[in-house]
Amino acid sequence: MSAHMTPEQFRVHGHQVVDWIADYYERIESLPVLSQAEPGAVRAALPAEPPEQGEPFDAVLRDLDEVILPGITHWQHPSFFAYFPANASGPAILGDLLASGLGVQGMLWATSPAATELETHVLDWLASLFDLPAAFRGNGVIQHTASDAALVALVAALHRVSGGSTEHNGVHSGQFAVYTSAQTHSSVEKACRVAGLGADALRKIDIDPATQAARSEHLRALVEADVAAGIHPALVVASVGATGTGAVDPTRELAVIAREHGAWLHVDAAWAGVATICPELRWLNYGVELADSYCTNPHKWLLTNFDCDAFWVADRGALIGALSILPEFLRNAATDSGEVIDYRDWHVPLGRRFRALKLWTVIRWYGAEGLREHIRGHVALAQEFASWVAADDRFELVAPHPLALVTFRLREGDDATRALMDRVNASGKLYLTHTVVNGAVALRMAIGSPQTQRRHVQAAWAALSAT
């Protein structure tokens, strides 16, 4: 067997793989949602040493079924209600496959002009679909994840707050402060650590117990105390759809305070932001016109396979100023002309995949109407689920649920709530996760799989209420 897969062999095995994926989606409902594998079981089934001689591709596909699949938690299962969704879809899978086939590394405009220009263009499409501010147009980039977005927002903020000097990026711990609510995702704390500020730089803004949203007057108190102590407020992160309960911070009020003190305002709308494709959910955009940066993940709830975080800045100057380094080996005429975007300057890695292709195939396949239908269907199912919870005296809802996440608990208390979750998850029939709201354990029902229909939500409620 020759070492390389010939185009003809690729055609044959490629068809097998596509068939495998199509069969997987047809039978996914019959599989247990949560993997039942014990720790170490997958490794124990793999050979200790890699093969010396190449193997037929059929052997790989056989092991995929026998070794890998039992160790898979099926994120695309219609009864996957845990964390937040990580949507996959046919057009996104095919777009990703095309990107792999082209094998482009789009670090510079010159290394594949279409990779850069399609990315800028589809992010403009998204900005228009989400009705984001005009300042974001032409200023979008795909980051791997919302965590990367938080990190680059922080690095840009530090660059700006330290007067545009690259010497000060993140190295003066104790001089700069970052503010988020207690509900904000842990990625912001990680960004503080990675940027060298340390977790001590993070100030937690108090939340309103009823809405779980940040209290802007507490942000003001925190910022003023820091300024009085000679510490520079660098970054405020507003969560639009926080991970625990889906809380929505008052972005405008937070942004006004950030502006007064020269701090950067980043909006983390990782999960919820894509819902603004529906005009009736555009209230989520309250105050984004004052944001310095904004991110949302099509890889969560907009049918685009992981990874795809859409990130925009209102002014690209600080971002590029913080991240651009031009070694001689990357110099080229297009870069020197200043007329093109080189996305290597917009994120941490140098190299980058052609991720815009999968977003392009998704938007073209579904169209704006198809994407709205996807979001609206889940929001309606969540509202119905919440009404069932509310009507059962054993349960209580613990936070507002305007989108597709419902948080609730058993009135009996934490132990009973946790035990209920463990039992339904062990059944393999559905999967949901928990959080803590106002000091008490709560379950999170996150509806967002493209395969989820009303009958799956009904079955989940039947299992929860009967267990």
Is the distance from CB of 132 to CB of 274 less than 8 angstroms?
Answer: no
Q: Which is nearer to ligand PLP, 77 or 299 (CB)?
A: 299
> Residue 105 has which token pair?
């590394």
Question: Among the candidate windows 21-29, 268-276, 366-374, 429-437, which touches ligand PLP by CB under 6 A?
Answer: 268-276
Cα–Cα distance measured from residue 36 to residue 431, given in angstroms and rounded to the nearest whole number: 12
Question: Among the candidate windows 47-55, 145-153, 318-326, 435-443, which touches ligand PLP by CB under 6 A?
Answer: 145-153
- Residue 426, classified by CB atoms within 10 Å of its CB into exposed (0-12), middle (13-18) or buried (19+), is exposed
Q: What type of residue sits at position 327? A: P
Q: Which is nearer to ligand PLP, 307 or 342 (CB)?
A: 307
Placement of tokens 């679909």 in the chain: 129
> Residue 402 has which token pair?
């305007």
Note whether 202 binds ligand PLP by CB under 6 A.
Answer: no
Q: Which is nearer to ligand PLP, 254 or 410 (CB)?
A: 254
- CB of 308: closest distance to ligand PLP in angstroms? 9
Note whether 236 binds ligand PLP by CB under 6 A.
Answer: no
Cα–Cα distance measured from residue 389 to residue 391, given in angstroms and rounded to the nearest whole number: 5
Q: Is the CA virtual torsion 172, 343, 324, 258 positive or negative?
A: negative
Site string for ligand PLP, 306-345 (x = CB under 6 A): ---x------------------------------------
**Cα separation values, 96 from 2, 15, 61, 256, 377, Å:** 27, 16, 20, 40, 26
Contacting residue, 147, 181, 293, 449, with ligand PLP by CB under 6 A: 147
**Cα separation values, 409 from 168, 237, 413, 435, 465, Å:** 47, 28, 8, 10, 11
Note whether 179 binds ligand PLP by CB under 6 A.
Answer: no
Note whether 403 binds ligand PLP by CB under 6 A.
Answer: no
Is the distance from CB of 239 to CB of 214 less than 8 angstroms?
Answer: yes
Is the bond leading into 336 cis (omega within 30 degrees of zero)? no
Contacts with ligand PLP by CB under 6 A: the residue count is 15
Note whether 374 binds ligand PLP by CB under 6 A.
Answer: no
Note whether 146 binds ligand PLP by CB under 6 A.
Answer: yes
> Residue 291 has which token pair?
């944001």
What does residue 50 show for φ and ψ, rounded to 5 degrees? -70, 155
Note whether 183 binds ligand PLP by CB under 6 A.
Answer: no
Contacting residue, 185, 266, 347, 434, with ligand PLP by CB under 6 A: 185
Q: Which is nearer to ligand PLP, 190 or 218 (CB)?
A: 190
Question: Among the candidate windows 164-172, 234-242, 318-326, 341-349, which touches ligand PLP by CB under 6 A?
Answer: 234-242
- CB of 442: closest distance to ligand PLP in angstroms? 16
Residues 238-267 that bind ligand PLP (CB under 6 A): 239, 241-243
Q: Which is nearer to ligand PLP, 313 or 340 (CB)?
A: 313
Note whether 169 binds ligand PLP by CB under 6 A.
Answer: no
> Residue 201 has which token pair?
């730089």
Note whether 191 binds ligand PLP by CB under 6 A.
Answer: no
Note whether 271 binds ligand PLP by CB under 6 A.
Answer: yes
Contacting residue, 76, 89, 111, 187, with ligand PLP by CB under 6 A: 187
Residues 36-95 that bind ligand PLP (CB under 6 A): 84
Cα–Cα distance measured from residue 67 to residue 48, given in angstroms and rounded to the nearest whole number: 14
Could you tell me which of 83, 183, 179 has the C-alpha nearest to residue 437? 183
> Residue 326 has which token pair?
């031009």
Note whether 449 binds ligand PLP by CB under 6 A.
Answer: no
Cα–Cα distance measured from residue 436 to residue 141, given in angstroms and rounded to the nearest whole number: 34
Contacting residue, 216, 296, 297, 304, with ligand PLP by CB under 6 A: 297
Q: What angle do CA 203, 209, 214 make, to 5 degrees?
A: 35
Name the residues that contact ligand PLP, by CB under 6 A.
84, 145-147, 185, 187, 239, 241-243, 268, 270-271, 297, 309
